[in-house]
Structure 1
Amino acid sequence: MASKKLFSALICFCLSFPVLAQELQLNVEETMPRLLVQIDTDGDKKITIEDKPKMPFLVPLSAGDSVAIEEVYFLSNLLQELAIARAQEKDSLQISLDRIKEAPANRISRRIKEQFWDDLTRSIDQKGLRKILKDSKAEDSVQRLYVPASDTVGIKYYRQLQQEFENLEVVILPKQISPQYVKSINDQPGLLALKIENGRGVPFVVPGGRFNEMYGWDSYFEGVGLLLDGRLDLAKAMVDNFVYQINHYGKILNANRSYYLTRTQPPFMSSFVRQVYEAMDEQDEAWLRKALDAAIKEYEEVWMVEGERLTKTGLNRYLGQGTGIPPETEKGHFEEVLKKYAAKHDLPVAEFEAGYKSGEIIDKELDEYFVHDRSVRESGHDTSWRLENRAANLNTVDLNSLLYKYEKDFEALIEEYFDGSYTTASGKKYTSEYWHQKAEKRKQLMDEYLWNEKAGSFFDYDFVKEQQTGFISATNLYPLWAGLASKAQAEQMVKELREHLMAPGGILSTAKTSVEKTATNKVQRQWDYPNGWAPHQMLLWHGLLNYGYETTAYELIYRWLYMITKNAVDYNGTIPEKYDVVDRTHKVYAEYGNVGTEFDYITTSGFGWMNASYQLGLELLPPEYREKLNELVPPENISFGK
């Protein structure tokens, strides 16, 4: 079996004299089956620590000698390289031992930069549709593409394409899109068009390999990773697609899928615009104006409409605007809920569901349940006991922190690039001082409604019950990232973080104690304890560093990266959607499974914001910690300045 120390001597040469050449010379179709038969003993087309291989595995060197490899990690790297060669239709593979023995953190980061981003890139145009039209989310053989009535360029382009693809149906959306219209096309789902420029679709990055749509808040975090990896072109393109969505769909969509037309996601547009613009070598003021106009429009028309997402407290809420049962869930997702209401109406579940969907049966209480359910999905945290059956009644800490960040970003952009005064293309005038005052007012209201001095934490506020929820969540710490917490508040918040949300693998989504107090059954929600997610880590690392808590930040970054690295080493390079940060494993047992764990031989894409978190973590960590990560030194064996 493998040695316990990853980088202990593992190569035993089969001849007694020194080997001069360190290149492997392999026949792909001979070596790959032999490797799998001998090493992949559980037959899952991966090489992991769960295999029980017969050792050693001999491979030829270019010099004519042989080398025996006995380390599971290196054998899985060999399998991955063979899989790449086979996908490229190569008969032979010549590769250095150094590549097979590549230090794990270096390998993960290199593959994200060189392979994963490209594999996750899509475009809705002639070239991109050849892949997208194999989409698994269609209800029938027809692949529908919905195009806004206001996009004359897109309508012309896609109508021409319709002649090339026999299973493509181009549908022009009505000028006014109502929840009733969206419900009427639930059984005819399809992708929503994005920007066409110079006869080509503007590209975007999807969360994972099985996705074909551009998601709302995922895109911002992917953009952070893209900028770190020198892919300004792709990050800028994603902002351009957001501008298109705001101008043609009225919002940044949950994703560009037909049943998301009434739903947005956590707002990160201002941060995305600012970071892309600051990364440009030659700044393009015309581009900034278009993006800033769209971001202000989104702020005013999506988030600041009274009675909708702006509430009586002056603070904001998520409000998934739609009607009926959300159609994107897997079959049986709402079975327990529908059973309850079917019994109330003394009907079989199937009959009740059909009647409710058709509108023949009206139940206001169930309507309200689905308002909350869609609002949970709009929040991006689908699902969590924090939001269960009350999401639309909450002024959440996360949303109001993000909108505070919008206000501060608008202030900064207008002050720095427009001398403190800005006029939009539609003629609306704003000053940096206006946005400064908006931010100050929001901070005042958050302190009034969301801050709890006794607990030393911000909490979501239920404006119907007129009380804080007291639910401990990573989202309570967003004020650190947004920069709205006072130094005294930050000190108390960091204590709360270390006591309730710090786990062996990083930051927990929610505290165990809060889940236990709130859960009404034993269903494991994916955004709850013991799971951790990339966006929370990324925001809170920056938040901690912003307030001078470097030691805590570095420890949390290292814990997260170590968990990812160790799982990738042990499980054939797996980079999944989420982790159990208590047991430091990708084997997460919760609703929806764990995207990115199902593949043969090699993962070609990882998962979007997980990839970004890895690149950001490496960027933020001091060099000495990166070295320890490559050596797989557990975080409990590092002092972190204590």
Structure 2
Amino acid sequence: MNRTDQHAIFDYDTRAVSAADTLTPADRYQELFVAVQMQRVFPDSKTFVDCAPRQHPERILELYRARCGTPGFDLRAFVHEHFIRYEMAPTEFVANPDDGLAEHIDRLWPVLTRKPRQHPEFSSLLPLPHDYVVPGGRFTELYYWDSYFTMLGLDESGHCELLRSMADNFAYLIDTYGHVPNGNRSYYLSRSQPPVFALMTDLFEDTGVHRATDYLPQLRKEYAFWSEGGEHLRPGEAHRRCVCLADGSLLNRYWDDRDTPREESYLEDRQTAQASDRLPYEVYRDLRAGAESGWDFSSRWLDDPQKLSSIRTTAIVPVDLNSFLYKLERQIARLSQVKGWQACAEEFHRRAEVRLAAIDRYLWNDEVGAYFDYDWKRRQPRDNLTAATLTPLFVRIASKTQAERVAAVVRERLLAPGGLSTTELSGTGEQWDRPNGWAPLQWMGIRGLQNYGHDVLALDIERRWLAIVGQLFERESKLVEKYVLRPSAEHAGGGEYPLQDGFGWTNGVTRKLMQEDARHEVHRCRAGQCRPEWAESLGDAD
């Protein structure tokens, strides 16, 4: 394939993008990095790795080594002297009590949009050629799977140019790094996130931003990233993101190419590893793989739901990841057919069919009537039901009978007053567990059920979710990262950081769902104007 085939349709010029500096803060600052994180110079471990140096990093490290052993050395003062803390530019954004929720979201998009005209030298931020939308709060960079759900709202708000910019940014990342990193930071380069670029290409085509076929080279390159090394595996072996199961079937797992503490959670990961009787590097790898899953963290990955140190992400074959990769294989097959590349189309159609058979064999539990993850090391299915069970419906893998059974299980076991529960298990202290609910899981669950005609349950989840979002918007004039799925005044908790305002994927999913339910009470809510009408929209399941 020549250069014209790969790049002609993209409106970016790599010569106009500053050269990426891929050294991570830990690699660059070495013992200074460790000292800053272990001594908690900043309350949030992510703060330091997002700082920019005031002079060349090698000079800073030299100065630190010369001074750190002297009497009275003040590490905190040294850091503030030599680094610029990243702070979002102050905005004058104030919720307008006359705006409805849709108008409020539309006014938020410019606040969350970044224009990469200047790139701080030697910072961890990876340059991008075009404007992009960040989630908000502590998340000041582009994130992979977040962006798909954000894009749903950008489309609904009429931001076609911004959608096109996001499309070209993802094409640029795949062309430059061979995959889409977790986020555009150097410390995220060793992992990706749930591979939803194939879903994005459908959205780009539906909205007229680009033809989906324009992205076929990038789709194939991303597929190569996820399947690297799999063809050489024997039953019971694994390599990076590939696992060869007992019958020779090849499925995928989450992974990270590093086995050190996550730099943005360095102290937390060190403490987690200390609480385990396993080798530290094994715990670090599983924590990083959990971050690649997007579900960081959940009892879904744990042996003991009360102990994060029992995490075993790399031992688990996830139903959602393999559903997304089935979609990727089918997308490559379909687009290759459109391009007239018959051999490629047939090969990827075959791969998709082989994966589907393995999903039915290893991830479908016929006794329960739902999809579950699989522990490939112990050769047994996991028994914790999660909202991921709806992902096969979302990408249209399930048979009609399987979809009916999943819908029944979801109605009975995962439906909460505020929407679709993340897991059945609560009280773990992890943010991707009950009682928390997340916008992307609502969207995939609703769409998955609609794909198979389960419109009543889909509408029930949608109405409950919009009511929860509307309630908090009326009370606090904002949207947030995650929600407690019950009618209460409490904020969602769990995890490694406080609840974040913003929030990209909540805005996107909510904006899209509002357009589809014009009669919902959420259309009448206003910031700071609490009303009692929400009771009818909230269910009583929990």
TM-score bucket (shorter structure): 0.7 to 0.9
Distance 1:293 1:635, change over 3 A: farther
**Aligned-pair CA distance for 1:210:** 3.7
Check the 8 A contact 1:319/1:375 in 2, yes or no: yes
Match for 1:300 among 203, 224, 233?
224
**Aligned-pair CA distance for 1:466:** 0.5
Tell me the secondary structure at the aligned position of residue 311 of structure 1: strand
Please tell me whether Structure 1 or Structure 2 has the larger radius of gyration of its CA atoms: 1
Check the 8 A contact 1:506/1:532 in 2, yes or no: yes
**Aligned-pair CA distance for 1:278:** 2.4
CA distance in 2, matches of 1:586, 1:291: 43
The reply on whether 1:279 has 2:207 as its aligned counterpart is yes
CA distance in 2, matches of 1:261, 1:292: 22
Tell me how many residue pairs correspond in the alignment: 426
Which aligned pairs between 1:364-379 and structure 2 lie closer than 5 A? 365-379=279-293
Which aligned pairs between 1:193-208 and structure 2 lie closer than 5 A? 193-195=127-129, 202-208=130-136
**Aligned-pair CA distance for 1:400:** 0.5
Distance 1:624 1:382, change over 3 A: closer
Percentage of pairs with the same residue: 32
Tell me the secondary structure at the aligned position of residue 533 of structure 2: coil
Task: Tell me the residue number matched to 1:69.
Answer: none
Which aligned pairs between 1:80-229 and structure 2 lie closer than 5 A? 87=92, 100=97, 102=98, 107-113=100-106, 115-126=107-118, 129=119, 144-145=122-123, 190-195=124-129, 202-229=130-157
Task: Tell me the residue number matched to 1:620.
Answer: 516
The reply on whether 1:546 has 2:435 as its aligned counterpart is no
Distance 1:207 1:544, change over 3 A: same
Tell me the secondary structure at the aligned position of residue 367 of structure 1: helix
CA distance in 1, matches of 2:454, 2:217: 35
Gaps of 5+ in 1: 1-85, 94-98, 134-142, 146-189, 196-201, 342-363, 423-428, 516-521, 598-605
**Aligned-pair CA distance for 1:523:** 4.8
Distance 1:110 1:586, change over 3 A: farther
Match for 2:263 among 327, 338, 349?
327
Stretch moving more, 439-448 or 615-624: 615-624
Check the 8 A contact 1:254/1:263 in 2, yes or no: yes
Check the 8 A contact 1:575/1:610 in 2, yes or no: yes
Tell me the secondary structure at the aligned position of residue 455 of structure 1: coil
The reply on whether 1:461 has 2:377 as its aligned counterpart is no
CA distance in 1, matches of 2:534, 2:517: 15
The reply on whether 1:408 has 2:330 as its aligned counterpart is yes
**Aligned-pair CA distance for 1:367:** 1.6
Q: Which string of whole-angstrom CA distances, capped at 9 and with x for unpartnered residues, describes residues 51-108 of structure 1?
A: xxxxxxxxxxxxxxxxxxxxxxxxxxxxxxxxxxx939xxxx9xxxxx74x4xxx611
- Matched to 1:398, the amino acid is D
Task: Tell me the residue number matched to 1:600.
Answer: none
Distance 1:339 1:498, change over 3 A: closer
Task: Tell me the residue number matched to 2:493.
Answer: 589
Q: TM-score, normalised by structure 1?
A: 0.62
Task: Tell me the residue number matched to 1:310.
Answer: 242
**Aligned-pair CA distance for 1:320:** 1.3
Which structure has more helix as a fraction of its residues? 2
CA distance in 1, matches of 2:216, 2:347: 15
Q: Which string of whole-angstrom CA distances, capped at 9 and with x for unpartnered residues, describes residues 176-211 of structure 1?
A: xxxxxxxxxxxxxx111223xxxxxx1111111443
Tell me the secondary structure at the aligned position of residue 478 of structure 2: coil
Distance 1:237 1:374, change over 3 A: same
Stretch moving more, 294-303 or 529-538: 294-303
Q: TM-score, normalised by structure 2?
A: 0.73
CA distance in 2, matches of 1:632, 1:407: 48
Match for 2:344 among 411, 424, 430?
430
CA distance in 2, matches of 1:310, 1:336: 26
Check the 8 A contact 1:227/1:276 in 2, yes or no: no
CA distance in 2, matches of 1:523, 1:580: 14
CA distance in 2, matches of 1:634, 1:241: 40
Tell me the secondary structure at the aligned position of residue 193 of structure 2: coil
Tell me the secondary structure at the aligned position of residue 263 of structure 1: coil
**Aligned-pair CA distance for 1:234:** 1.3
CA RMSD for the aligned pairs? 2.7
The reply on whether 1:536 has 2:536 as its aligned counterpart is no
Match for 1:500 among 413, 429, 447?
413
Gaps of 5+ in 2: 1-90, 231-238, 303-310
**Aligned-pair CA distance for 1:470:** 1.2
CA distance in 1, matches of 2:363, 2:275: 36
Stretch moving more, 293-302 or 477-486: 293-302
